[in-house]
Structure 1
């Protein structure tokens, strides 16, 4: 089929973005929407996208919203990853090298997790049949100096792949804690080795990934926000070494520097380290950069889920 004449496409674009609309509405929103509409119209012509396909797409987009899966679709299509790629490029232009890479936040953070000094136990209720995990390290600046008073927020899923607050069967803030570092910059938490999980079976994201010939699963991982006065917020996560999907994450979040080595310690070895149980141990330092007005902000002020108690 012959492609539409570009003049016809351009005329339709001009009609949608008519000059007489200038001075009304939000200029930034108009700039973005008009560009996306222009690109969409040209794609419809290039790919001969039919009316039926467009209306099926409209129904599918509606379904994504009804299923509350836009956060998963953002991850699965690599949109959230590309946001990081863009920010990394901007840092490079400013001569900034991140020793601890940023990576995606995902849609499952909730503010207000219980705070403690230097150490926390993440489980509100014990997770049966789990492997004990101790993770520790130091929050440091660009030169490696410890940062006292840093806030390390941690969250991960249970062995069913579910997150508290989004999963009403768990106690509120289960596997969600906030650690404030002392002057030595040290943090440590006790939990268990988490598992990976998949998007809801048969849901919007799972359906889309199947149509793209991909899976909708994530490797085992633990999320972090690290903040401190006068430093840029760090959004990152670690992957659990040895997970079969560590380098096949549907959300494109794996960075080699964020796959720390796990050491399995027997009860005898644990006692030497001052622990009373066999466990897996991860040592990992977070490096932050000093903030200034010229840097891309670390906090994007996106909307986030509120606790049911709020």
Structure 2
């Protein structure tokens, strides 16, 4: 027998009270959001016949998710972060904002305050024996003109698929830099070829993905924030062509326009000319920013981020 009480006046009044609608204190916006969460939740409980055991299992899951600091990982894995990009894309289309490099997810592993370099930088600290990578590119406007003084904020994983700050074995700001473009909008850096990574196999995100019959792997990629005066801030990342998970990214971040060809070179003479030895890789990618007259559009969206002390 199916019993439903969510639409009764008493229950509706109860959840309005729980959401704070019976007082004039606090945030009206937050009250509205919490009320929607509560009313949608009780509909799920009724519609799907959620048992008390299932309910408390879900509560425990949320506790575990927080204790492992994997909430940001889960929203990426369930496609929610990608959905936000799709929604912003749709809003841009309606507003007639076209052109430029596509956005894609930031992910949960950015750290603010990386050292700022002029025109070029070395990202790695020399402790990882991965293949040396030389990347260069330009920051342009939609007319193809270079943007001098743009800031390229770049970060990526090491060959083990882990990120500095979150991996205590790495030095501060390893594989993280901010680079100011030169008069021709160019930037360049030396680093190592990053590896893709997977969700922690013993963590709550992977446990949920297991129940969905899904893997938790990401292809090799490099994250970027690109910013310049009078231009819209860009949050994006490039994926390295040829990775086995390129079109099977558990976080749904791959976009065709953001796939970069990486070239591996086995030429000792060329390697020495670059100041290295053995095999190395080269990568070139340009970023295009849309103009804006709105100062807020020049800034990255506000969210909690790690800060190296």
Question: Structures share a fold, TM > 0.5?
Answer: yes
CA drift of 1:3 comes to 5.1
The answer to whether the Cα contact below 8 Å between 2:231 and 2:298 also exists between their aligned partners in 1 is: no
Q: Which residue of 1 aligns with 2:280?
A: 279
1:169 aligns with 2:165: no
Distance in 2 of aligned mates of 1:41 and 1:294? 41
CA drift of 1:296 comes to 6.1
In structure 2, relative to structure 1, the CA distance for the partners of 1:184 and 1:20 (3 Å cut) is closer
CA drift of 1:96 comes to 1.0
CA drift of 1:149 comes to 0.4
Q: Which residue of 2 aligns with 1:69?
A: 70
Q: Which residue of 1 aligns with 2:11?
A: 12
In structure 2, relative to structure 1, the CA distance for the partners of 1:20 and 1:207 (3 Å cut) is closer
Q: Which residue of 2 aligns with 1:40?
A: 41
CA drift of 1:255 comes to 0.5
CA drift of 1:22 comes to 5.1
The answer to whether the Cα contact below 8 Å between 1:153 and 1:226 also exists between their aligned partners in 2 is: yes
CA drift of 1:124 comes to 1.3
In structure 2, relative to structure 1, the CA distance for the partners of 1:296 and 1:113 (3 Å cut) is closer
In structure 2, relative to structure 1, the CA distance for the partners of 1:3 and 1:88 (3 Å cut) is farther
The answer to whether the Cα contact below 8 Å between 1:223 and 1:237 also exists between their aligned partners in 2 is: yes
Unpaired segments ≥5 residues, structure 2: none
CA drift of 1:134 comes to 1.3
The secondary structure found in structure 1 opposite 2:257 is helix
- Once superposed, what is the RMSD of the aligned Cα atoms? 2.1
Distance in 1 of aligned mates of 2:84 and 2:178? 26
The answer to whether the Cα contact below 8 Å between 1:90 and 1:296 also exists between their aligned partners in 2 is: no
Q: Which residue of 2 aligns with 1:263?
A: 263
What TM-score do you get using the length of structure 1 for normalisation? 0.92
The answer to whether the Cα contact below 8 Å between 2:231 and 2:297 also exists between their aligned partners in 1 is: no
Unpaired segments ≥5 residues, structure 1: none
Distance in 2 of aligned mates of 1:232 and 1:198? 31
Deviations, residues 98-135 of structure 1 (Å, cap 9, x unaligned):
4311111111111111121111111112421x222111
Q: Which residue of 2 aligns with 1:140?
A: 140
Deviates more, 1:235-244 or 1:17-26: 17-26
